[in-house]
Structure 1
Amino acid sequence: MPRAVAPPPSNEFEIRLTKPFSGPPKHTIEVIGSPNRSASIRTTTHTSPTQTTHKTGDVPADDVQELLRLVSELRGFPSHPSKDIYEKDVKVDFNTFEIQWGNEEEESSPDSVKEIAGEQKEDFGRIAESIEALARTFAKKDAAV
């Protein structure tokens, strides 16, 4: 079932990774930009319930293209609003003008959750790790809140 989220302006995207899958976020990565250009990346780490640290940076255009290629593989993957079906303790949301997908969405077919292949779990994990690697590589500048 498509999300009721307004898509970003034409040719813009937002990718968000949040840990853990359920409960208050401890770590969030956001990548925002346009294809064929560099993108902004921001990490937020919750060091306590009231304190956070932020790091920002820019992702080069070539890495943006690779990230978009990887994340587009998630199209059609099943999701579940309350169960971590990929067993990675991570939420990923991908929002473009063409695609709105998240692994914490309502699933139109409950049976598809039972049919998740090991390969889909591996692909999801690989994509989540790629997003985290981009953050480790490029989000190094301290950011004001």
Structure 2
Amino acid sequence: MPRAVAPPPSGEFTVKLTKPWSGQPTHTIEVIGEPSRSASVRVVHYSGHAKSNEKVGEMPKDDVHELMRLVQELRGFPSSPSKDIYEADAKVDFNTFDIQWSNEDEDPEADVIKEIAFEQKDDFKRIVDSIEALGRAFAKKNAAV
């Protein structure tokens, strides 16, 4: 179910991955940009409540296009604010001009669903793995303080 969040300006998007699904994050990956251009990537590792390491980089537009294709696959997937229904131990949030989605959103239909289809869990895990791979591949420079 889409969130009631204002869409980003004219074609911009954000994709954010946070691990683990609950509790204090150990790391986050954030990609911000426009679908037809390169995008900025930021990977932050945490030690307790403080940042312990932050890397940044640029993702080429071909990889941005692939990322947008991947996250669009999540359209219509159920979500739950209280349970990691995909069992991937990760939160994925994306915000485009067309759709805002998070696997942590309130979704009344998710309460009715007792078991998420294996294919959806597999697709979600594949997308999480892809976002993590993009972070490793492109966020290599230490962030400016």
What is the TM-score when the length of structure 1 is the normalising length?
0.95
SS of the residue corresponding to residue 132 of structure 2 reads helix
Equivalence map 1:12-23=2 (5 Å): 12-23=12-23
Tell me the alpha carbon deviations over residues 44-88 of structure 1, each in whole angstroms, 9 at most, x when there is no partner.
000233343110000000000001001100000000001000001
Paired with 2:130 and 2:115, the residues of 1 have a C-alpha distance of: 24
SS of the residue corresponding to residue 108 of structure 2 reads coil
Alignment-derived partner of residue 86 in structure 2 = 86
Higher mean C-alpha deviation, range 91-100 or range 44-53: 44-53
Paired with 1:124 and 1:24, the residues of 2 have a C-alpha distance of: 21
Structure 1 segments unaligned to the other structure (5+ residues): none
Flag as ranges the 4+ runs of structure 1 deviating above 3 A: none
SS of the residue corresponding to residue 37 of structure 2 reads coil
Identity %: 66
CA RMSD of aligned residues (A): 1.1
Q: Is residue 133 from structure 1 mapped to residue 126 from structure 2 by the alignment?
A: no
Alignment-derived partner of residue 64 in structure 1 = 64
Alignment-derived partner of residue 45 in structure 1 = 45
Tell me the alpha carbon deviations over residues 101-124 of structure 1, each in whole angstroms, 9 at most, x when there is no partner.
000010121213x24100000000
Higher mean C-alpha deviation, range 82-91 or range 43-52: 43-52
| Offset, 1:7 | 1.2
Q: Is residue 10 from structure 1 mapped to residue 10 from structure 2 by the alignment?
A: yes
SS of the residue corresponding to residue 44 of structure 2 reads strand
Alignment-derived partner of residue 123 in structure 2 = 123
8 Å CA contact 2:17, 2:128 repeated in 1? yes
What is the TM-score when the length of structure 2 is the normalising length?
0.95
Aligned length: 144
8 Å CA contact 2:24, 2:48 repeated in 1? no
**What amino acid sits opposite 1:105 in the alignment?**
D
Paired with 2:71 and 2:77, the residues of 1 have a C-alpha distance of: 11
Structure 2 segments unaligned to the other structure (5+ residues): none
